[in-house]
Structure 1
Amino acid sequence: MSNIEDLLSAGQLEVLASLPEGKPVVMLNLLRFRDRAAYDDPGEACSGREAYRRYSEGSLRAISAVGGRVIFSGRAHASLIAPSDETWDQVFLVRYPSAAAFRTMLSMPEYQASVRHRAAALADSRLVPVTLYGE
């Protein structure tokens, strides 16, 4: 991969562009892990959680390099209000100093090299940008 256009669709890039510049953004992450990671190479076989740990090694360094940080991480429980078939294994929040910092992180070679582990790890996910009202 060579740029964020390789990671995000045009619609996703549009969402990022619509975020207020110069203001903090928190990314809400909802994750559902595969039982077995979906790697092409059988030598990389592991659980989805282990594959996500591999992704986290590179992504956490990239997050830190742009001034971001994980502000919450926890185990998800059954939803109180949601479709009955919508379940998540982990929830976490990552705060970035700005949408530009998030875009910079996405373009970092170290981050891009780790994305394949994320794809192998997850059966489903959500990434929702959150900003303060009035900003």
Structure 2
Amino acid sequence: MTTYIDPSPANFQAFKDLPRDQPIHMLNLLHYRDDADYPASHANAAKGWSGRRAYQEYGKTSGPIFNRVGGSIIWRGVFQTVVTGPDNMQWHDGFVAQYPNAGAFFEMIKDVDYQLAVVNRTAALLDSRLVRFEPGAAGGGFG
């Protein structure tokens, strides 16, 4: 099974090539490790945390930066089952993060404190997806 924690260079370049001055929504799908996988030298390595607990630490440590750049969570949910898609597509949690623009996302990931916090995300996740969308109108029908 191929897993994804960080973007490939090609995917990140495609993200960077899109407009940076418009609002974006980022769909996050998360599959946690049973046990967090920190580097041995990290302060959290000996705490015996689950992947979910390590992700909570990521949220706690990255949250102030996310808020400072204007980010907000506009939807979150707990996975139940796949209706259309591969049977092995299993997630624990999902959420949509909204940013005022892609520049805010870049500001966040370049922040020194964020770069320290992201170690918790890496330790937490067995697999993930991060998908950028341009916001559209809500409500009404499917079309």
Q: TM-score range by the shorter chain?
A: 0.7 to 0.9
* Amino-acid identity (%): 36
- When normalised by structure 2's length, the TM-score is 0.82
Separation (CA, whole Å) in 1 of partners of 2:102 and 2:93? 23
Structure (1/2) with the larger helix percentage? 1
Shift of 1:17: 1.8
Shift of 1:128: 0.2
Cα shift readout 1:55-78 (whole Å, capped 9, x = no counterpart): 111221111111111111110111
Separation (CA, whole Å) in 1 of partners of 2:12 and 2:39? 28
Q: Identify unmatched segments of 5+ residues in structure 1.
A: 1-6
Q: Which moved more, 1:38-47 or 1:86-95?
A: 38-47
> Quick one: which of 43, 50, 54 aligns to 2:53?
50
Q: Identify unmatched segments of 5+ residues in structure 2.
A: 1-5, 137-143
RMSD: 1.6
- Identify the residue that residue 107 of structure 1 maps to in structure 2: 110
Please identify runs of 4+ aligned residues in structure 1 that moved more than 3 A.
Answer: none
The one-letter amino acid paired with 2:31 is: R
- When normalised by structure 1's length, the TM-score is 0.86
Shift of 1:8: 5.1
Task: Give the 3-state SS of the residue equivalent to 1:94 in structure 2.
Answer: strand
Matches within 5 A, 1:82-93: 82-93=85-96
Query: Which structure: larger Rg?
Result: 2
- Identify the residue that residue 10 of structure 1 maps to in structure 2: 9
